[in-house]
Structure formats: structure tokens, C-alpha cells
Amino acid sequence: MSEPTLSRRNVPAAALIHRRVPEGTGIVHLGLGNFHRAHQAVYTALAMEREPGPWGILGVASRSSTVADAMNAQDLLYSVVEISPDGSRVSVPGSHTGTLVAEQDPESVVRAIADPATKIVTITVTEHGYTVSPETGSLDLDSDAVRRDLGEMRTPRTTIGQIARGLALRASTHAAPVTILSCDNLLSNGRQTEGLVREFVGTFAPPLRDDLLSWMNSSVTFPNSMVDRIVPSGSDRYNEAALAHLGVRDTIAVPAEPFTMWVMEERFAAGRPAWEHGGALFTDDVEPYELMKVRLLNGTHSLIAYLGALDGRATIPESVAQPFVEDAARRILCDEYLPTVTVPASVDTDDYIRQLFSRWSNTALGHRTSQVGSDGSVKLAQRIPIPALEHLGRGTVPQYLSLTVAAYLCCIAPPPGFDPGPHARSMTDPARPRLAGMADNAASTTEFVRSVFVDGGLFPSTLASHTDFVSRIADFVDIIVRHGPAVAAGEASDPVPDLGTITSLRSSATI
């Protein structure tokens, strides 16, 4: 006989975080993915366990109904499987009160945001979900999805459109205050989200535009936040781990590392759960934590993923176990990212770096290079330009930032005739078709790289004027194509490249 499916009737009491059904729905969460379920939902369950309140979460999936359907079949429960080399631990957060799928029912999403019971709207839709122009940092008005939402009042499909329409309905009905809390890897994510929403609202006709902007000034807050937890994609092995621990079947178990962190500004317009009971930190200035995470962790993580994938490595632990990848990771972290960051006084830098490499080496978790390397066109726009410009402004070409861009291009838009391997081919990226066309049409590597900076829509075009930076990226692309990522990483450790070798490589490696 098969095991029963997870439900509130059969979940082991010791595993369930917050045993009572939430008193009400106070949070609408946009982006019902693995990260939210292993992060904000856990903090919220821990908060309600200590201080009960109306902080249940309505989880909104963007497109797929898979997770929402499974949660509905399991009394809105699922398991979080914490994986470490020492073993696993399973918990079940009881924080959700319902689900929606935005693609199927966008009007209900707008109504949920406008509901007076909603006090907070949290967001994890990845950097790509904010429809930001990489060139301007503003709302991408050239996006088909944004243009559609600007013309359609009732059924917005983009995250920014849903928030703007929800706030408009809220302001016109009861005008209760609300907080919009981005939990994605955007620098100053609250400020950016507010700017994007205001841009969207700015397209409305008066008097709606002016009335709504005025109401937002007094009644809507957008705190900055920083989130951190490595959460890979789910798989059957995690479902099996949940079964072994709980004795019941869970078809949507979420894997996660034991480490978790959440830092945010204390700016909530209508109250909040007692997230500090889950370990959340509140501060007046999130930026140092943001920069530390986005650059030291995420930026280095990207380089590990691209070098590892090009070296045929399926996972981050396999990648960082290669001496050349570990050395490159330490060099970019310590020599190029760290000088651009002011580490918070409460953080021991050496201990933080040791902890990062320990997390990346968690072989039991097995974070895939293809997952970490996906959507690089959006992720790298947050991680590369400002540090690169800082180094270039000092007269130094950042070798490993250059290598990161080169390795990314080799994975996503490989030169004709070059096979980056199965893990690179498995990476998804909205810019892949555009960049691949540039690679196919360029007469040389340098022309290709320059076109990426001028016309690729990935990085600010100001970087294209730094010809030494563009040239160095082209050098690394050529070396990867001819000799592989290990040789390229070795060249990066030499700030004065062998010009004869590079010239020879360029002459024989055109695109």
C-alpha cells in the first residue's frame, strides 16, 4: 500500500512549524517558487509560531500551476529538506493560506493586492521578472509584456503591472496602507521596485496618476532587503528524503542549505510578522549587506558556474573542487569584488569568506551549474558594471570580471564551431538568441564583444568605451575556445598578458 500524501492530519507534529492554521491572510507573495518556500515562508511560520497573527501567505505562482496544485492537494503544506554533508533535516512550514496562478487569473492577483486584509506584498520573481532595461535601469518600455500591461487595466501579466494595478484599486476603494517588499537580488531592491512602480503609474492618465502617486507617498513603503539561502531545483531524491523523515509523501519537497539570512529595513506601513524570531535582522542601512551578498556571493557564484560548466562540471561543488576554479573564485572575490564593498561591522570578513567556500562545497546539496548560470544577462548586469567601472577608473583592468563575462559569452553565445558542453547548453537566458546572432555575424572576437556592450542590451554602453576591458574579454573568449577555461583562468592570474600568445590566438580564432 502506498504511503499517504502529506496533510495537516498526518504531518508529524515535531516537523510542523506553526501548527495552527494562520488566523488570516496578511501577505500576498508574488513568485511561488522554491526560494520563497524555503525562505520567507519559513521565517513567517517561525514568527507566527512565537507570535500568532493574521500573517498567512497567499502564494502567487507566475505561470506554472504545478506547485500551486500540489500545495492545494496537501493542505498547502510541503517540506523543506535541509541538506548538509552531515545529513538532512526536514521541516514543514505551515504559513500559506491559499494559492493563485497569475497567468490563469491575473484579476484575482490584482484584487488580492488591493484586499484591505493584505498588509505586505513580498516578491521573489528573480531579476528577470522586474522588466528592467539594462541600458537605463528603468522600466523596459520596449518589452512586449510591459506594453501590453500599460494598455490593459484589468489583467496585468508583469509583476510591476500587477503591483501598480493592485495599488490603484486599493487607493480607489479603501486606501489602507501597505508595504511592497522585494526579496530578489537587485541592488537597493526596494528603491528599484518603487521606481519601477512609479514609472508604470506615471503612464496613467490624470487625475488617477497624480492621486495615486500622492497616496503612495503617504501610504506605501518599499523597504530594501537582502536575502540569502542556496536553494536548488527540486527533484525526486528530495521527495524521497522527505518521505524517509516524515513517513508521508510530499511531491514538492524543497531542498535547501542550512544557512539562511534575511536583512531588511524597518519600514512597514501596516505592521509585519515578528520575523526576528526566525533570525531576521532589521537595520537602517541594508546596502552593505546587499553589496556583500550580490558581489561576494552571487558574483563569485556566477564565475564558478560558467568556468565549471565549460570544464564539464555538473554542479557547483564539483566545479569549486577544481583547483583552477577555486583559485579564480578566491581571486575575483578577494581582489576584485571585496575592494568595492564595505563589509558590515557585524560581519567577520575572513569568516564570511570561509563560510562561502564551505557552502559552495556542499556536495550533498549539489547546486547545478546550469541553474546558477541561467539568466546571466540579467544577473551579471547587477554584478559586473559598477565594480568593473571602479577598477577601470583606477586604471586597472579587472582580470576576473573580464573572465566572468568571457566565460558567460562562451556558455550562452559560443563562437561558431565551439561546443561549450551540455551544462552550458542547458542554461536558459532570454538574451541567448540575440547574442547568438551577434556571435554568428561578427567578423572577429573583438567585434563580437564590442557589439555585446554597444547593442546587446546587457550592460551600460559606457563600458564599451573602455577598449582595454573589451579587448581583455575578447582575449579570454579566444583562449577558452582554443585552450579551455583552465588556461584562461591561468592567464587571468597574470595582469600583463603574453601579447604574442594573445595575438596568435586572435589571428586563428575569429568568429
* C-alpha of 81 from chain center: 20
- Residue whose C-alpha cell reads 501590453 in the numeric block: 148
Residues facing residue 87 across a β-bridge: 84
Phi, psi of 29 (to 5 degrees): -110, 125
Contact 320, 305 (CB under 8 A): no
> Nearest CA to 448 among 410, 490, 498, 504?
410
The 3-class secondary structure across 467-488, one letter per residue, is HHHHHHHHHHHHHHHHHCHHHH
Alpha carbon of 283 to those of 37, 68, 347, 423, 466: distances in Å?
24, 33, 14, 39, 37
**All three cell numbers of 426:** 542547458
287-508 maps to which CATH number? 1.10.1040.10
**All three cell numbers of 199:** 514609472
Q: What is the pLDDT of residue 156?
A: 96
Phi, psi of 106 (to 5 degrees): -65, -30
Architecture of the domain spanning 16-283: 3-Layer(aba) Sandwich (3.40)
Contact 298, 185 (CB under 8 A): yes
3-class secondary structure, 348: coil
Q: What is d(CA 360, CA 368) in angstroms, rounded to the nearest whole number? A: 11
Taking the domains of the chain in order of start, what are their residue ranges?
16-283, 287-508
Q: What is the pLDDT of residue 506?
A: 37
One digit per residue, the tens of pLDDT, for the chain of length 511 reads 478 999 999 999 999 999 888 989 999 999 999 999 999 999 999 999 999 999 999 999 999 999 999 999 999 999 999 999 888 999 999 999 999 999 999 999 999 999 999 999 999 999 989 999 877 889 999 899 999 999 988 899 999 999 999 999 999 999 999 999 999 998 899 999 999 999 999 999 999 999 999 999 999 999 999 999 999 987 889 999 999 999 999 999 999 999 999 999 999 999 999 999 999 999 999 999 999 999 999 999 999 999 999 999 999 999 999 999 999 999 999 999 999 999 999 999 999 999 999 999 999 888 999 999 999 999 999 999 999 999 999 999 999 999 999 999 999 999 999 999 999 999 999 999 999 999 999 999 999 999 999 987 888 889 999 999 999 999 999 999 999 999 999 999 975 444 333 333 333 333 3
Q: What is d(CA 463, CA 97) in angstroms, rounded to the nearest whole number? A: 47
Contact 252, 8 (CB under 8 A): no
Alpha carbon of 437 to those of 1, 418, 431, 511: distances in Å?
55, 15, 10, 11
How would you classify residue 280: left for phi > 0, otherwise alpha for psi between -120 and 50, otherwise beta?
A: beta
**All three cell numbers of 133:** 532595461
| Residue 207 CB-density burial (10 A; 0-12 exposed, 13-18 middle, 19+ buried) | exposed
- Cβ atoms within 10 A of the Cβ of 495, count? 12
Contact 278, 36 (CB under 8 A): no
User: pTM for the whole thing?
Assistant: 0.90
Alpha carbon of 308 to those of 150, 316, 373, 446, 505: distances in Å?
41, 7, 10, 24, 22
Q: Where are the alpha helices (DSSP H) in 184-272?
A: 189-201, 208-219, 236-246
Q: What is d(CA 48, CA 56) in angstroms, rounded to the nearest whole number? A: 9
Q: What is the pLDDT of residue 1?
A: 44
Residues in the chain: 511
